[in-house]
Structure 1
């Protein structure tokens, strides 16, 4: 495997940290900036929403630019945005820099996913994309728990300074080792939107959105949930995030294995039902460390295990536009994160943090309805024939 793919994966890891790390330090940010935990949680909502919208738009607008040059520009903007977040004097300024960070991050991730297959042999293309994806998931395993410990010891601001420093290193390595890459024709935003006219596809993307929304209704406030329900020390909050992260990464492999054996449709239905039950059950496990740990492991596994089945279903349903569908599904995923963290903030502020996983389970069971509806719709070829 070309080592340059791993350089791109490091960038993906850094970007993943910026988006995911907020969930582990919400209580610290809330106290330091004098805002509610729910308001601090909107930093996740804003990031995901901007990421979802700007990804396909920026990729289309910058389609004529040489890829390495564009990548370095995006990393430079990302670097200064994180410096700005580090220096933010108040919540409003931090929100502004989260917007800039999300815009540059969306372009970095999309470029990483499109560059990686171009710099390896044809037989390694899928593996290269998988390595980039692992870069983001590694941020979940390592970045979030480490962020909890560092944030508790030195304050939340230092985390953005560390990320800026890592970005600078990634940019220097890419500048030295990555060769210039000519731009290629990409799908326009209009083409991506046009692909949603098929109900079978659009409802499949809604499934991704709702599952992630249900997940982030709870995950965005997981640290606060642990503080309120179990009064755990920061070290054990970090351990909980680490256990979740390991489970989440392994869940991707499990989801792919199951999908290959029983098909994407059955996998999606089974995993969504399991996801619903584990979210609804978690609030009732906090009296037992053993039971709670088991629930967190299952929750983490299921949070990523549905993705391979969803991707397989989209490729199976629309093979001729699979690239467009993957782009749209990535945006749906980010919209789900935005909606989930927003709903979670409302639940935490309006009811209690203990209600967050139950609210999330409701969104997940609604996703099941859309999944069944999508699976029962006629194929695209049948729709076009009629």
Structure 2
């Protein structure tokens, strides 16, 4: 595998870490800037919504810009935004900076996903996407514990300075080792928006949204789930999150490898079915100390293993607008996280925290319906698997 893919993955990890790292330092920010913890929590909401909306828009507006130059420009904006976050004197300044940070992070993430498959041999395309996915997933999983650790030792502002430094290092490496990449398909904004009218493509994006919504219906309330079903103390809850995190990070690589072997459509169908089953069985597995860790690991791997197959499917289905489709799919992921967290809250209020797993499973089954619909709609001939 080309080492430049790993550099792009590191950059994706750095920008992705900014999103949820706030969750671990909310009390520090609230106290320092004299706001409530609830108000500070809006820093996460604002980031997610900005990220989801701005990704496709910015990619559409920059279709004619050479990819390496655009990537370095986005990294530069991200670098200075984090420096501004480090010196923010008040909450209003910080939330404004979060908007700029989210916009640049969205562009960097989708550029990483679109550049990676272009700099490797065709047979490694899905695996390269899987490696980028590993970078994104690991940032989402590890962001909170890193935030807690660094924030407690050095203060919350030091986190943004550290991220700025890592961004600078990634930018220097990309400047020296990544060759210029011209946009392969220059399409107008109207054409790119029109491509979403395709039921085959639109339903594929819905699949991503529903899978992440189903996942976060439980994952957003996993700590109280563990306390209610297993009576775990905080230390063992942290251990469970760590085990899940390691599994999730490896899932992107596994999904990319399998997609290259059997094709994206077979991978998506197989993983969705298994994902729905695992979510349904998770509450039942808590009665066995041997079975629960196994189900937890499988759940963690599946949570991010479908992403490379989804991205590969979009590339082969709409190659002329593949960049914008990958951007929209990343936005669908963000909307899925927000929708799943909100839905999980309703489930907890109306029923019980244990029911979040079954509710999430139902959303994943619905994703299977949309996946089958998308795959059976007429479209371009697929180079892999079934069509």
Mapping 1:154-233, distance limit 5 Å? 156-175=156-175, 177-178=177-178, 185-223=185-223, 225-226=225-226, 230=231, 232-233=233-234
Q: Distance in 2 between matches of 1:3 and 1:10?
A: 11
Mapping 1:241-260, distance limit 5 Å? 241-256=241-256
- Alpha-carbon shift at residue 162 of structure 1 (Å): 2.2
- Alpha-carbon shift at residue 224 of structure 1 (Å): 5.7
**2:37 partner SS:** coil
Q: Distance in 1 between matches of 2:341 and 2:304?
A: 17
Give the aligned partner of residue 379 of structure 2. Answer: 380
Q: Which runs of 5+ in 2 are unaligned?
A: 382-387
Give the aligned partner of residue 274 of structure 1. Answer: 274
Q: Distance in 2 between matches of 1:220 and 1:60?
A: 32
Give the aligned partner of residue 7 of structure 1. Answer: 7
1:108-129 Cα distance to aligned partner (Å, 9 max, x none):
1233344445666777766655
CA contact (8 A) 1:2 1:120 kept: yes
Cα gap change, 1:279/1:40 in structure 2, threshold over 3 Å: closer, same or farther?
A: farther
- Alpha-carbon shift at residue 14 of structure 1 (Å): 0.3
Q: Distance in 2 between matches of 1:187 and 1:303?
A: 33
CA contact (8 A) 1:50 1:99 kept: yes
RMSD: 4.0
Cα gap change, 1:189/1:356 in structure 2, threshold over 3 Å: closer, same or farther?
A: farther
Cα gap change, 1:92/1:361 in structure 2, threshold over 3 Å: closer, same or farther?
A: farther
CA contact (8 A) 1:6 1:132 kept: yes
Cα gap change, 1:113/1:159 in structure 2, threshold over 3 Å: closer, same or farther?
A: same
- Alpha-carbon shift at residue 337 of structure 1 (Å): 2.3
Cα gap change, 1:252/1:108 in structure 2, threshold over 3 Å: closer, same or farther?
A: closer
Mapping 1:241-320, distance limit 5 Å? 241-256=241-256, 264-283=264-283, 285=285, 290-315=290-315, 317-318=317-318
- Stretch moving more, 328-337 or 283-292: 283-292
1:222-266 Cα distance to aligned partner (Å, 9 max, x none):
456556764533x54443333212222333344456556766545
Give the aligned partner of residue 384 of structure 2. Answer: none
TM-score under structure 2 normalisation?
Answer: 0.77
1:267-324 Cα distance to aligned partner (Å, 9 max, x none):
4344323323333443455566544422321211111232344345445555665555
1:35 maps to which of 31, 34, 37: 37
TM-score under structure 1 normalisation?
Answer: 0.77
Q: Distance in 1 between matches of 2:125 and 2:266?
A: 27
Q: Distance in 2 between matches of 1:195 and 1:284?
A: 43
